[in-house]
Structure 1
Amino acid sequence: MNMFLKTEILKAISFRNPVKLPFSYWVLVFLRFVLTILPQRGYIHPDEFFQNVEVIAGDLFAIDISRTWEFNPKFPIRNIFIPKMILCPPLYFIRLVNPYAKHYLNVDLKTPFYLVVIPRLFICFLSLINDYCLYRICVLYGQNFRNRLKIFASSYVVIVYCCRSFSNTFEMIFFSILLLIVAECMSLSDKVIYHNEFLKEKYEQAATAVEKVKIFKLSTHLPSHSLNKVIVLSTVVVIGIFNRPTFVGFAFPPVFFWLHRGLGSKVVGFKDFHYRIFTFMLCGVPTALLLILVDSGYYGYITMADVESLKVSWDSWVVTPLNFLRYNSDMRNLTQHGLHPRWLHLAVNVPLLFNVLGILAVVTLAIHTYRFVRGQYSKLPRIQSITGLMLFSLVIPIAVLSLFPHQEARFIIPVLIPLIYLFGNHLHTNESDGPKTRRFKTTFRYTWYALNALLTIFFGFIHQGGIYPFANSLFHEIKNNYGVHTHVITTHSYSIPTFLLQLESTTKVYKDKKTGHKYRVAPTTFLYKYGSMPMQHLFVKVDDVLTNAEMLLHDYKKKYRFYVASPCSLDQDIRMAAAKYHYFELREEISYYPHFCTEAFPKFPSSHDQFCIENNSKVRTNESRAVDLNMLQRISCFLKKFCLRIYRVEPNTKYRI
């Protein structure tokens, strides 16, 4: 018993006075914040804006936004509580501080730069929870946390993904917290069960009643562990499921290990196991009811008047995770978002996200599978150990998510925590390593750093990198030309986050102070998102928009500006399609570099590519010029096609009425 108390005291002291972290780790953390503040111009996926920050900004600032189908009140599939809890603080900070910043500092916080950076900076602070959880688990089980933290902090998943407002980013935080809770519970249970069995054995061996009484009193001082942190555990699981129902796959291994703590020992039996299950489910009910109530109120299924009049029925409630499962169980819905082979996560996404460590994990798991088939169970990790927990927490989520035919790389980013714990130390040499092993580990470590640096640059600054600067310039143009109608068509690129433009709300009802009449503001900015529409169909839309804008100009003197945003690789197609319409012309406004998009990957130019002309500022529809290019010029021309080009659409004065 004294040994147990001494162990607990030493553990408490070690957490109150943590070991000094390596300087290189703090450099990587500082780099994470610096790259967030720059800001990162890269645009990984529309969901980083439209699933969270776009909706919350619309609610908080009362501006026009693009509310996607996931938030349709008729069939909502996204919980609103978690995005509000995470994104309301930074956005409310902008709303609260902005008047003072404008007055005293002449700084407007409601500009694209601050609207992007401040929420990301807050999420970047939250991402340190992942670092802390990994650190605590390593210290708790006596593992080398220095090497693991450096590998973790240098991952581009942490630097890029974990600083964006993805629901997967929030899922990773909940998963890290869950792993830490279960790891602490397992550690405590192992110690308590060991001392409990020891005292029970001594009690049976005691010769006198006095000795038995002393041992019994000692056993009563052992801390309770069976239901340790059950309320926190169940709350995190429920919140994680409402954030993303796929969290079931991530939560299953930690919850399974929490339920099985000590099972099979002399003091823990199946009665304790079933008692834990019942208590765990019961403790999750209040949180689930609260989140259902929040969603039902937000989407208009229930109001305070309904509650006061007791007009509440089954139709007054909405369960967003259930709607999520219903939607994704329909193959026709998944087809709209793209179907992928079920091996994509393992063969493509794991190496893409985790490169060297991902390949190392696949090889190690293949070896474990071979040993299991051959019956070499003694060489496998112990099922109730921390290694077993991390191994199952790595394998099970990827296996579960691989069952669904729609697979994106960001879906599996939470498994980075168990992956780093299991294999992060394998990239650093030990004293027992031979010369060949040292060379391999050194090579792997430098490969890890190099690939993550390149992928940070690519996803952080190059992928769809023209959208943010275009939105920034569009914001200032709209602000400086108030009342002028602005039409923007985007093609073969991601959608412009509408909240960055801070458009005046067209749904809010205003009241005239003098007359008392109520009115709404008419829209003046129109964003048209046509995805990868073929050019001949796209210019039919261009023709329609221009015709309507010209009619408003002629009838109501409504001035307008009309832009088409397209990747530079489609410049030839744009010109050829525009040449068929003689009553309007395209004029190149500006190009934003770099801008990489798979929707319009450029072709490598031939030696006689007539469209590879440097400093081509005007779109020529009638001029044809053959260009004899050498290899360097072809490579230069190819690289210059990785940009977003903005065209101004104007009617030809010859045909104007």
Structure 2
Amino acid sequence: MFLKTDILKAISFRNPVRLPLSYWLLVGIRFVLTILPQRGYIHPDEFFQNVEVMAGDILTVDVARTWEFNPNFPIRNIFVPKMIFGPPLHLIRLTNPFTKHYLNIDLRTPYYLLVIPRVFICLLSLINDYCLYRICVLYGQNFRNRLTIFASSYIVLVYCCRSFSNAFEMIFFSILLYLVAKCMFKSDNVIYHSEFLKEKYKAATNAVDKVKIFKLSTHLPAHSFNHVMLISAVVVIGIFNRPTFAGFAFPPVFFWLQRGLGSKIVGFKDFHYRILLFILSGAPIALLLILIDSGYYGYLTMADIESLKISWDNWVVTPLNFLRYNTDTKNLTEHGLHPRWLHLAVNVPLLFNVLGVLALITLSVNVYRFIRGQYKKLPRIQSITGLMLFSLIIPVALLSLFPHQEPRFIIPVLVPLVYLYGNHLHPNESDAPSTRKLKVMLKSMWYILNILFSIFYGFIHQGGIYPLANSLHREIKANYGMHTHVIITHSYSLPSYLLQLESTSIVWKDKKTGHKYRLVPTTFIHRFGSLPVKDLLVKIDKDLSNAESLLHKNKKPYRFYVASPCSLEKEIRSEASKYGNFDLVEDFSFYPHFCSEALPSFPSNRDQFCVANDIFHKNESHAIDLNLFDRFLCFLKRFCLKLYRVHSFTSYNR
């Protein structure tokens, strides 16, 4: 006979155990890489979808507000960015006067503006680790191997420490998986003991035993609506953060709804009650987020509330706008159209390398077994394995329906992927020698590939943008008030908040005259994307002429810069030589800087541009043949970002 303590013990968590030293070492590496900082720049969205806008609001500086935050048709929710970036940015704003005065440390410089928010995100990324750990402990799985594999992934080391909305989506997904796994574990145990006690009650032959069994059954905890408010809150906030979260949330929510179906004590009535309560719990949170967005984007004002003149025009639903925008193929064309197999064939191996390939092979085997009717060899649906399997397959399948597919869109599935296959990279005592060798080889490949990708995306990919921002920040600060023009081409956009330019959106009123004034900008960032070099020089000539005109009109000196990948140097100088009114003088060269928009070509053995730039044999004849080693070094040296100063021959400006 089960006692009350036995039942409660059976449905409680197991005591946590010490985490392996290798895991803590990897967590330390995660923070060290964040503080260095990581110079790499994965995608413009890591700045312009979150921290750039929040810095403009909190630090009152001039920023580039992208089309996604256009009040006419906003598609980005503001609640999640404010909750995540509000604390670190307010910390910078409030403590900077004291650090400057007492420690002579200016927090409003590119390094601290980049690192402090990233450290905060890095701390939040530990939620993923914790949720994976708790799920493994809950179901008696080896958490040591899985946590080590998870923490060594370059997705965790790089992506999860950046200000991507996808990184926040991964956190919400991990929390949701943990809550549902916890509810499933509890429901399974309660249902098992409830059915067990019912059978014992029927088999009891006397009233005393029946009373004892009945009392034991009354001590079974409720389980049907466990964590419903928390789960609905995570789902709603996750969808407002990124509407694609609906695809990630669908499998866990479905498993939460159908817990225990098919047993003697849970029926379809419970299923429908759970749906109703889930919707009722999420509705107030959705309304609150709509209210926050409507107020932020100016659709709803205090005057509207006080006058009670509120209509449908006063509300904005950003997830709905997001869906409306992304369901139009014309809009997606502007961001690039991809084949629908890209996630499966390219992005999964690229992001998850060994684990991704292992998952594809295993899933193919399961599909084959399903087709052949070998159902007993398939994972049980109503289990933690079923939950993780569907949480891996369904999000990738749903996101593959959209023709715009970037690798970062599917990074949240790393959690179920590691849970399912992370332990497969560690040899077991029962493995055959050949299997052990294969697992050791796969494990080594996992670590090597993740180290290489961490270096590439963390420090090389678009790695010249951050030092460029550092250089420009010092230049602007040292020459305060001087007009500074910066043209950036064939590289990602420079985040304006790193330069801490004074906001030009603030309007103040003169008390005496009543006139309104707005700050006149002195720094102009021109982002021309991948404009052809010939058209780029036309733009430079035009902007330079405008700067010259303002110089002669207002007697205001200026400085004019052009930032371009080193691979375009020969082409840019050749085209610039056709203009007789200015010259390009190299100021700085930032290395490394990998830019797919302008990949360098491998030099020939008589590539005299290498010699002309004093890369090799600077004292020898320009007719010298370059050996293969010199050509390779010349090729590597072209992965950099050059900053040119434009000197006008018609100006006295210096």
TM-score by length of 1: 0.96
CA distance in 1: counterparts of 2:297 and 2:141, whole angstroms: 47
Secondary structure in structure 2 of the residue aligned to 1:581? coil
Query: What amino acid sits opposite 1:309 in the alignment?
Result: S
- Counterpart mapping for 1:26-425 below 5 A: 26-425=24-423
CA-to-aligned-CA distance 1:113-139 (integer Å, 9 cap, x gap): 000000000000000000000000000
Give yes or no for contact 1:609–1:626 (8 Å, CA) kept in 2. Answer: no
Match for 1:652: what amino acid?
F
Could you tell me which residue of structure 2 aligns to residue 620 of structure 1?
Answer: none
2:5 match: 5
Once the 2 structures are TM-superposed, how far is the Cα of residue 518 of structure 1 from its aligned partner?
4.2
For the structure 1 residues 201 and 475, does the alpha-carbon distance in structure 2 shift closer, same or farther, using more than 3 Å as the test? same
Shift of 1:5: 3.3
Residues in 1 aligned to 2:285 and 2:614: alpha-carbon distance in whole angstroms: 60
Deviation of the 1:210 alpha carbon? 4.1
Deviation at 1:520, TM superposition (A): 1.6
Q: Is 1:651 matched up with 2:648?
A: yes
Equivalent position SS for 1:429: coil
The equivalent position to 1:443 in structure 2, one of 441, 444, 448, is 441
Aligned partners of 2:578, 2:516: CA distance in 1, in Å?
46
Cα contact 1:569–1:642 (8 A) shared by 2: yes
What's the TM-score, normalizing by structure 2? 0.97
Paired residues in the alignment total 648
Instruction: Tell me the distance in 1 between the aligned counterparts of 2:651 and 2:278.
Output: 76
Distance 2:94 2:43 in 1: 29
Helix, strand or coil at the partner of 2:216:
helix
Cα distance, 1:211 vs structure 2? 3.5
Matched, 1:572 2:570: yes
Aligned to 1:508: 506
Contact 2:380–2:386 (CA under 8 A) maintained in structure 1 = yes
SS at match of 1:587: strand
Conserved 8 A contact 1:609-1:627: no
Does 2:616 correspond to 1:634?
no
- 1:28–1:153: 8 Å Cα contact kept in structure 2? yes
3-state DSSP of counterpart to 1:590? strand
* Greater mean alpha carbon deviation, residues 496-505 or residues 207-216: 207-216
Decide whether aligned partners of structure 1 residues 588 and 533 sit closer, same or farther in structure 2, where only a CA change above 3 A counts. same
- CA distance in structure 2 between the partners assigned to 1:604 and 1:30 by the alignment: 38
1:552-599 Cα distance to aligned partner (Å, 9 max, x none):
111111111111111001111101211111111111111100000111
Whole-angstrom distance in 2 between the partners of 1:625 and 1:433: 62
Q: CA deviation at 1:372?
A: 0.3
- State the shift of 1:626 in Å: 4.7
**How far is 1:99 from its partner?**
0.4
CA distance, structure 2, for counterparts of residue 3 and residue 524 of structure 1: 77
Alpha-carbon separation, structure 2, partners of 1:318 and 1:547: 43
- Distance, in Å, in 1 between the alignment partners of 2:448 and 2:512 is 65
C-alpha spacing 1:651/1:616, structure 2 compared with 1 (3 Å): farther
- Cα deviation for residue 633 of structure 1 reads 1.2
Query: Is the contact between residue 4 and residue 216 of structure 2 (CA under 8 Å) also seen in structure 1?
Result: no
Distance 1:153 1:522, change over 3 A: same
| Paired residue secondary structure (1:612) | helix
Specify the code of the residue in structure 1 equivalent to 2:88.
P
Structure 2 counterparts to residues 503-652 of structure 1, below 5 A: 503-511=501-509, 518-613=516-611, 615-616=613-614, 626-652=623-649
Deviation at 1:181, TM superposition (A): 0.1
Q: Are the counterparts in 1 of residues 77 and 318 from structure 2 also a CA contact under 8 Å? A: yes
- Secondary structure of the corresponding residue to residue 611 of structure 1: helix
Deviation at 1:215, TM superposition (A): 2.4
TM-fit CA distance, 1:212: 3.1
Paired residue type of 2:131: C
Q: Which amino acid aligns with 2:557?
A: K
Q: 2 CA distance for matches of 1:631 and 1:507? A: 55
Q: Which amino acid aligns with 2:526?
A: Y
Distance 1:449 1:389, change over 3 A: same
Q: Which amino acid aligns with 1:596?
A: F
> Any unmatched runs of 5+ in structure 1?
618-623
Q: d(CA) in 1 for partners of 2:323 and 2:329?
A: 12
What corresponds to 2:618 in structure 1?
none
* Distance in structure 1 (CA, Å) of the matches to 2:637 and 2:135: 48
Letter in 2 for 1:165: S
Corresponding residue for residue 491 of structure 2 = 493
Deviations 1:614-652 (A, max 9, x none): 6559xxxxxx95552111111111000000011111112
Partner-residue secondary structure (3-state), 1:394: helix
Larger mean CA deviation between 499-508 and 201-210 belongs to: 201-210
Query: Would the alpha carbon gap of residues 355 and 130 (structure 1) be closer, same or farther in structure 2, given more than 3 Å must change?
Result: same
Distance 1:654 1:174, change over 3 A: closer
* Residues 289-340 of structure 1: CA deviation (Å, up to 9, x unaligned): 0000000000000011111110100110000000000000111000000000
**Cα 1:359–1:103 shift into 2, 3 Å:** same
Residues 232, 215 of structure 1: alpha-carbon distance in 2 compared, 3 angstrom cutoff: same
- Asked whether the 8 Å contact 1:583–1:655 carries over to 2, the reply is no
Percent identity between the two aligned chains: 72
Q: CA deviation at 1:203?
A: 2.2
Could you list the runs of 5+ residues in structure 2 that have no partner in the other structure?
616-620
Provide the secondary structure at the position in 2 that maps to 1:384: coil
Distance between the aligned counterparts of 2:222 and 2:61, measured in 1? 52
Range that drifts further, 58-67 or 209-218: 209-218
Letter in 1 for 2:453: L
Any conservation in 2 of the 1:168–1:410 contact (CA below 8 Å)? yes
Q: Alpha-carbon deviation of 1:610? A: 2.1
Give the Cα separation in 1 of the matches to 2:93 and 2:548. Answer: 37
- The one-letter amino acid paired with 1:172 is M
Q: Distance in 1 between matches of 2:313 and 2:25?
A: 53
Counterpart in the other structure of 1:621: none
- Separation (CA, whole Å) in 2 of partners of 1:275 and 1:582: 78
Distance in 2 separating the partners of 1:95 and 1:11: 47
Report the equivalent of 2:475.
477
Q: Distance in 2 between matches of 1:4 and 1:138?
A: 26
Letter in 1 for 2:587: E
Distance 1:654 1:57 in 2: 37
